[in-house]
Structure 1
Amino acid sequence: MSETSARSTRTQEAAHTGRIRVRRAYESPDGGYRVLVDRMWPRGVAKADAELDERCQDVAPSADLRRWFDHDPAKWAEFRRRYRHELSLDAADAEDGAPSRDAAEDLLERWRRSGEQELVLVYGTKDEDHNHALVLAEALEALR
């Protein structure tokens, strides 16, 4: 069995009834398996105050995609499409520094092992309606 097939099997076994949600890093922590999913640390947030279980930069959009999007709501639909494409690639096919399906599946596995019922994707951007954590949550739900 290939590594990708084994990882996919583990992810299917890891699926449980917990929910995935997103939360700004500037909001008070409220439980769950908290994962910072940004490449850059949120400005003004102390590491101790974030109460994170982990930081997973491997699932954040590539630097090129992030710079292209630049939080422009007019580019939202295309950003979602491009980011979902990045998250659909095997690690071997992803460009350097780009996220992959393997990284997303690994995150789901770590959440399952944590025993927490909720996976909380923590992000730093101000825009609560146009951010990569929303797209990542959709992609993770599709992998479960």
Structure 2
Amino acid sequence: MSVRVRRVYEPPEPGDGVRVLVDRLWPRGLSKDAARVDEWPKGLTPSNELRRWYHAGEGSYEEFARRYEAELTAPEAAELLDGVRELTGKGPVTLLTAAKAPQESHAAVLLRLLG
């Protein structure tokens, strides 16, 4: 099982496998052709409230990760996470995000849960 996180703005690579956009909003200035996104499970992303809370600098990454993991136990999110987990059994999966610091984003939480 090979799962990795990359910025969606980086050019696609042959080893990316299935490219899964894990952001709720489409990345600014990026065409769908250039992004080469295979899956876009919007319901797998953090809630707007949690995203705003974290980006406002009101809490630590660790607290954000804890809250996001709690959100992922909701039925729709859990089902989508299972769907991505199934993809990892078939070959490489690349989680794509527009986050400037993917290592401290929701994508890193997903990577840990899928790895």
Fold equivalence (TM over 0.5): yes
Using structure 2 for the length normalisation, give the TM-score: 0.87
Describe the shift of the 1:59–1:88 C-alpha distance in structure 2 as closer, same or farther (beyond 3 A): same
Describe the shift of the 1:129–1:90 C-alpha distance in structure 2 as closer, same or farther (beyond 3 A): same
Match status 1:53 vs 2:38: yes
Name the structure 2 match of 1:135: 109
Find the structure with the greater CA-based Rg: 1
Gapped regions of structure 2 (runs ≥ 5)? none
Q: Distance in 2 between matches of 1:79 and 1:135?
A: 9
RMSD value, Cα = 1.9
SS of match in other structure, 1:45:
coil
Gapped regions of structure 1 (runs ≥ 5)? 1-17, 92-99
Name the structure 1 match of 2:50: 65
1:75 paired residue among 60, 77, 83: 60
Name the structure 1 match of 2:84: 107
User: Which one has more relative contact order, counting CA pairs under 8 Å at least 6 apart?
Assistant: 2
Q: What letter is aligned with 1:103?
A: L
Describe the shift of the 1:47–1:81 C-alpha distance in structure 2 as closer, same or farther (beyond 3 A): same
Q: Distance in 1 between matches of 2:4 and 2:110?
A: 10
Whether the 8 Å contact between 1:33 and 1:118 is mirrored in structure 2 is yes
Q: Distance in 1 between matches of 2:83 and 2:101?
A: 27
Alignment identity in percent?
38
Q: How many residues align?
A: 113
1:46, distance to aligned residue in structure 2 (A): 1.0
Q: What letter is aligned with 1:132?
A: H
Q: Distance in 1 between matches of 2:41 and 2:75?
A: 17
Q: What letter is aligned with 1:52?
A: V
1:71, distance to aligned residue in structure 2 (A): 6.8
1:87, distance to aligned residue in structure 2 (A): 1.1
1:102, distance to aligned residue in structure 2 (A): 1.6
1:65, distance to aligned residue in structure 2 (A): 0.7
1:90, distance to aligned residue in structure 2 (A): 2.9
Q: Distance in 2 between matches of 1:36 and 1:85?
A: 21
